[in-house]
Structure 1
Amino acid sequence: MSDPLPPYPPLDPTTYDLIIIGTGLPSSVISAAASSSGSSVLHLDPNPFYASHFASLSLPDLTSYLNSNTLSPPPPSNNTHDDSSFLSLDLVNRSLYSSLEISTFEPDILEETSRSFNIDLSGPRVVFCADESINLMLKSGANNYVEFKSIDASFVGDSNGELRSVPDSRGAVFNDKSLDLIEKRQLMKFFKLVQTHLADEKDVKVVSEEELESSFVEFLEKMCLPNKIKSIILYGIAMLDYDQDDGETCGCLLKTKEGLDRLALYITSIGRFSNAHGALMYPIYGQGELPQAFCRRAAVKGCIYVLRMPVTALLLDKETGGYKGVRLASGQEIFSQKLVLDPCVTVGLESLSSLTDQQKETIRVLVPKEISSKEKIARGICIIRGSVKAEISNALIVYPPKSLFPEQLTAVRVLQLGSGLAVCPPDMHVLYLSTVCDNDDQGKTALLSAMSTLISPHVPENLPSDSVDENVTAEAKPLLLWRALYVQELVKGEFGGNISSTSSPDGNLNYNEIVESAVKLYEQLMGSEELFKEETSQEDTTEDNDGDGVEIED
């Protein structure tokens, strides 16, 4: 049963330049940018927490959210006023999640600590030190409200349990015991070529235009790199999903130009911040801190926030078919020039048959689209006791296509996080897993295979000790305490004139594509050529940093 709505007083004012529903990362970026430009913004969320599908939640809240996030009728409206000048269309929330499985193996232990977790709904996800989300935080001033810590190490794994290090410096290459001397020299030679290309020296043409348009995997083969180094570059650094050696299953081979761009992001991320080790960072307290940082920035600039407030209906002008406003669950009608909606909000199908062509055009972004076969991502979350890699707390592991089993079509990414990031109790770790998939069974099979490679199966207390596999015991794999598996639909944001929608969390490791889509949508909405044109100052922050994390600064 859903919680009753709090007794909110009527909102004042009732008219805004922009209303935004949902506080996910794209919505929060748009809210902060619009508020900074002087627009009046009302930002609503039906949830009792910020960040929507990008949230970091306690264990009970995560379980409740996943179990309740299903297609449901709109909440009853308290509004009895019928304004004949408006056409009211009911809005519903469709679920982005399917095939949910939640298993608890140590309920007593977890019950005591369940509120000590900050678990990401859209993991695994990290931030590259040089990616667009960091640049946008610096430009907007949102960096004042979030702190990061480095990911200790990255690995490329296989079904035998071998984890090969992904080098993040010249020293790391030469200290890597899995590479022989010739392989180390080949890798350093390749990195030097990439850096020369990125330097963009006019007199030095190290990569031809023809090579830039060829496939990246062909370019790597031309460099005579051995397969294990190719695998590290393609899946541990460029973070590709599909098998680049199999054109039939891949569908779209990455071009060399795009591959070098991905390497550039990785290389320029290393050493960008003096107190960050390697290329990757993670926000303390979870990924939900990033949307909240932009929300705080928007609030400083005058944006009004209301949580626990669903929007039940869309208001259209009966004569013109144009957008006018929304009706809240409280019954109040609020008006705006433009509206941005969460990706799970849609219009009731029964309402469509009676609409005119103009009215259908106004709400076109809300009409459910036919989903193509590859617009899903399987996600997994494990709470474990122990670490998948001795003496390393925070680590990224990538399993390239076919590395776990022959039918594995896409890479599986695994992110382990420890208590130093304030996401779990001291004696535990959280594992996030994801893989792009055609269907639910395919994705979950790949995730379970990665889990079985990294984690010991749970052994009941009453099971005789001599029945436990000695090999499993000898490997000292971490013990599984809790697990969730689910498949998320991927929804692209869409500009629709006065009514637009934002993107759901995607299948990437970082936020580059999500941020780019939010920037593009903002420019289409507001006609602005540049977000956060006026630089913000540091005095707006109210919190001092006294930890040992990474504070990002210009």
Structure 2
Amino acid sequence: MSEDASSYPPIEPTNFDLIVVGTGLPGSVIAAAASANGKTVLHLDPNPFYGSHFASLPLHDLSAFLNPHFTPPPSAASDGDDHTPVTLIQRPLYSHVGISNHAPEEFTEEYSRKFNIDVCGPRVLFCADKSIDLMLRSGANQYMEFKSIEASFVYDESSRRLVSVPDSRAAIFKDKSLGLMEKNQLMRFFKLVQQHLAGDDGGVENSRISEEDLESPFVDFLTKMRLPPKIKSIILYAIAMADYDQEDTQICEDVLTTKDGVDSLALYNSSVGRFPNALGALVYPIYGQGELPQAFSRRAAVKGCIHVLRMPVIALLMDKCTEHYKGVRLSSGQDLFCNQLVLDPSFTVQLPLASSPRDPLRESLQVLGLRDVKRKVARGICITRSSLRPDSSNFLVVYPPRSLYPEQVTSIRALQIGSGLAVCPSGMFVLYFSTLCHDADKGKELLHAAIDALLMLPESGHPESNTTVQSDIAAEVKPTLLWKALYIQDLTMDQLESISYAPIPDGNLNYNDLLDETLKLFQKIYPNEDVFPDAVSPENPEDDYESSLDS
């Protein structure tokens, strides 16, 4: 906190339909949707910035955010006849944080403020995905601008090079790394998928995918289509974005069905060419991903939502009769009351001491279970002074499982963003990495292998990793690493019977699953309300969105 919360004037009014604590993307969407439905909403955040775990921050602020020093709140004294305060505490979502500055004379605190670094990267938006549609419905797109991600590449294990992802017919014809037979096989496969999605057999027998095939593993269907290993890998990991090695069913934790694989191809295919100003399937917001929660917060403010930053919440107010929450206590000492409450995932309840063998309040706050107990996502951020490819600034790189070393069982994704997107000073480039893992050491080992394959490290080696990866990226001199951050984010979250939690950042490349979860939470809170009911869909939503897409 940069300012004492007690110096704030009291918040008026003191009663709300909904209080949301944390300005992350899910909380901002819920606040905007509730405000659009005429609800009185208060949106609080203990941070001095919007976005919470979905923010884009300067380097200095990022370091402080990943290594927070939470001051335990004072025990909330009970001073009401009809409610009991239960202390809220914040716990870090990140562990094993390691930050290396290899150019300290350059990365001063003043210079670090010229960066806008995504906390939950790498992230992109597909031109046809749910996040774009939701922005159009809500009007949040009016507060954002986007640029195209110029290309996608896959790391080829045999050549140790980045090869283009042929994601359209034109790209297939232009791709010099594919032979004529491979191009014909890929064209036939894409044609079958398009006919299946269109529900049109074109008068040709067996031009639809059978129900049996749709329920089978996607990798088996690709083998049945006689696609070579290289093409299968590109489709599975660089287009369908599978996380785990689909070839090894004993290790794969999330087998992609043909139906889900075809749906992913449909999203990718419908994203290519949706907007004339977008070169491919993917776009990225100018100034970083933190613009998304800010856009929805602005939309909420237009509808009357009150936003207060630098305002910690120190306790829940629980009704003594119903054991249901009825409000919150701020660090300023003020009590606010609400019908519904949504908490940031970093908050947890400090359970009160049991006053009796069966304390109803304690029982009502017991953690019911943990979601994704073992899964984590390892994230990395690297800064360089030159691009991985001289002909492109903004692009995606996918490392399929086993492409770096035999024990690599998950995909690794990397996203390079240049200064044209206002995330770093001119001449600098930011690289985001992520991969799923169960163990922090294994997660960092995966990230180190991916970084070693693309960048030249100032150090001679990594004590954290015993993996050595040789590389020959397009016969170019690899960029030198200037600054690096590695950290592990848990994918676990408390589930309390009477408290709603905003979803935590997941390990996906886009926001589709996270927004599905967010909208389900909104419908749980307001089952009889439509999301953004007063939003007027333009006759040509693409034209409306194009106005925010910078070519």
With structure 1 as the length reference, what TM-score do the two structures score?
A: 0.90
Answering whether residue 145 of structure 2 is matched by residue 147 of structure 1, we say yes
Q: Could you tell me how far apart the structure 1 residues matched to 2:145 and 2:409 are? A: 36
Specify the alignment match of 1:173 in structure 2: 172
Q: Could you tell me how far apart the structure 2 residues matched to 1:199 and 1:177 are? A: 30
1:118 alignment partner, one of 88, 98, 116: 116
Cα offset, 1:349, TM superposition? 3.9
Specify the alignment match of 2:489 in structure 1: 488
Aligned CA distance change for structure 1 residues 360 and 108 (closer, same or farther; 3 Å):
same
Matched position secondary structure for 2:408: coil
Q: Could you tell me how far apart the structure 2 residues matched to 1:199 and 1:276 are? A: 24
1:362-511 equivalences under 5 Å are 362-364=364-366, 367=367, 369-370=369-370, 372=372, 374-458=374-458, 475-491=476-492, 496-497=497-498, 499-511=499-511
Aligned CA distance change for structure 1 residues 176 and 331 (closer, same or farther; 3 Å):
same
Q: Could you tell me how far apart the structure 2 residues matched to 1:356 and 1:288 are? A: 45
Specify the alignment match of 2:264 in structure 1: 262
CA offsets per residue over residues 268-295 of structure 1, 9 Å max, x none?
1011112111000000000000011000
Matched position secondary structure for 1:443: helix
Aligned CA distance change for structure 1 residues 6 and 181 (closer, same or farther; 3 Å):
farther
CA offsets per residue over residues 454-510 of structure 1, 9 Å max, x none?
0011269xxxxxxxx99899741111110000000114586845x200111100000
Answering whether residue 237 of structure 2 is matched by residue 235 of structure 1, we say yes
Specify the alignment match of 1:281 in structure 2: 283
CA contact (8 A) 1:492 1:502 kept: no
1:335-350 equivalences under 5 Å are 335-349=337-351
- Return the letter of the residue paired with 2:449: S
Matched position secondary structure for 2:194: helix
CA offsets per residue over residues 389-444 of structure 1, 9 Å max, x none?
22210010000111111111110000000000000011110000000001100110
CA offsets per residue over residues 283-327 of structure 1, 9 Å max, x none?
000000001100000000000000000100011112221211110
Cα offset, 1:4, TM superposition? 3.4
Q: Could you tell me how far apart the structure 2 residues matched to 1:127 and 1:380 are? A: 19
Matched position secondary structure for 1:476: coil
Q: Could you tell me how far apart the structure 2 residues matched to 1:162 and 1:93 are? A: 44
Q: Could you tell me how far apart the structure 2 residues matched to 1:444 and 1:46 are? A: 30
Matched position secondary structure for 1:42: strand
Specify the alignment match of 1:466 in structure 2: none
Cα offset, 1:253, TM superposition? 1.3
Alpha-carbon RMSD across the aligned residues, in angstroms, is 2.7
Specify the alignment match of 2:319 in structure 1: 317
Cα offset, 1:99, TM superposition? 0.4
CA offsets per residue over residues 329-372 of structure 1, 9 Å max, x none?
100000001100011110114546769564346435xx384565
Aligned CA distance change for structure 1 residues 2 and 375 (closer, same or farther; 3 Å):
farther
Matched position secondary structure for 1:457: coil
Aligned CA distance change for structure 1 residues 372 and 318 (closer, same or farther; 3 Å):
same
Specify the alignment match of 1:87 in structure 2: 84
Aligned CA distance change for structure 1 residues 537 and 8 (closer, same or farther; 3 Å):
farther
Answering whether residue 131 of structure 2 is matched by residue 133 of structure 1, we say yes
With structure 2 as the length reference, what TM-score do the two structures score?
A: 0.91
Aligned CA distance change for structure 1 residues 336 and 227 (closer, same or farther; 3 Å):
same
Cα offset, 1:85, TM superposition? 2.2
Aligned CA distance change for structure 1 residues 62 and 219 (closer, same or farther; 3 Å):
same
Cα offset, 1:168, TM superposition? 3.0
Equivalent pairs counted in the alignment come to 531
Say which is worse superposed, 475-484 or 45-54, in terms of deviation: 475-484
Aligned CA distance change for structure 1 residues 246 and 435 (closer, same or farther; 3 Å):
same
Cα offset, 1:388, TM superposition? 1.1
Matched position secondary structure for 2:18: strand
Q: Could you tell me how far apart the structure 2 residues matched to 1:8 and 1:224 are? A: 67
Unaligned runs of 5+ in 2: 461-469, 539-543
Q: Could you tell me how far apart the structure 2 residues matched to 1:492 and 1:167 are? A: 38
Aligned CA distance change for structure 1 residues 54 and 351 (closer, same or farther; 3 Å):
farther
- Return the letter of the residue paired with 1:449: A
Q: Could you tell me how far apart the structure 2 residues matched to 1:175 and 1:493 are? A: 50
Matched position secondary structure for 1:338: strand
Specify the alignment match of 2:331 in structure 1: 329
- Return the letter of the residue paired with 1:110: F
Specify the alignment match of 2:161 in structure 1: 162
CA contact (8 A) 2:43 2:305 kept: yes
CA contact (8 A) 1:126 1:280 kept: yes
Aligned CA distance change for structure 1 residues 352 and 456 (closer, same or farther; 3 Å):
farther
Say which is worse superposed, 413-422 or 2-11, in terms of deviation: 2-11
Q: Could you tell me how far apart the structure 2 residues matched to 1:488 and 1:352 are? A: 32
Specify the alignment match of 2:541 in structure 1: none
CA contact (8 A) 2:57 2:118 kept: yes
Aligned CA distance change for structure 1 residues 537 and 250 (closer, same or farther; 3 Å):
closer
Aligned CA distance change for structure 1 residues 6 and 344 (closer, same or farther; 3 Å):
same
CA contact (8 A) 2:2 2:310 kept: no
Specify the alignment match of 1:209 in structure 2: 211
- Return the letter of the residue paired with 1:195: Q
CA offsets per residue over residues 161-220 of structure 1, 9 Å max, x none?
311111232111111111111101111111111111111238876111111111100010
Aligned CA distance change for structure 1 residues 362 and 323 (closer, same or farther; 3 Å):
farther
Matched position secondary structure for 2:5: coil
